């Protein structure tokens, strides 16, 4: 029988290893699979996503937040003739899984993420 302090340590260690694995694979993720834009669409359309809308200086912004277990999705979109994704971040309390910013060149909306590196919720809802 595990001691009362041993069980939480094992759970934390298991979660930390999983999160670390996701973090380490980020460098090799952008090759094939589902695009950043497709994951963003999944977040926009998920039934548990919360939406907050603000209009600042005549420009409307939509802020989407989806939390599934310890995985958090934040999506910011500027409304215009064509919606523009300004930022999109997927993270756990310990690691950033994906971080897209429209003003940076490191990651684009069309970059593909290998599906085996994505959480099950993304795979299930993007049909890839």
Find the helix or strand (DSSP H, E) in which 62 lies.
Answer: strand 59-68
* pLDDT, tens digit only, all 128 positions of the chain: 445 556 556 655 555 555 555 455 444 444 457 788 888 888 898 889 999 999 999 999 999 999 888 889 999 999 987 889 999 998 988 888 888 898 877 776 766 666 665 666 565 655 54
Dist. CA 61–CA 80, nearest whole Å = 9
* pTM exceeding the 0.75 threshold for the entire prediction: no
């Amino acid at each position: 029988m595990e001691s009362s302090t041993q069980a939480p340590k094992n759970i934390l260690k298991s979660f930390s290893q999983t999160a670390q694995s996701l973090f380490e694979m980020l460098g090799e993720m952008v090759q094939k699979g589902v695009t950043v834009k497709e994951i963003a669409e999944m977040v926009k359309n998920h039934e548990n996503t919360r939406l907050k809308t603000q209009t600042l200086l005549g420009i409307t912004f939509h802020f989407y937040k989806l939390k599934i277990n310890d995985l958090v999705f934040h999506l910011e979109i500027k409304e215009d003739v064509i919606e523009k994704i300004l930022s999109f971040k997927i993270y756990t309390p310990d690691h950033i899984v994906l971080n897209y910013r429209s003003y940076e060149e490191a990651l684009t909306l069309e970059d593909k993420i290998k599906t085996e590196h994505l959480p099950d919720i993304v795979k299930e809802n993007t049909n890839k």
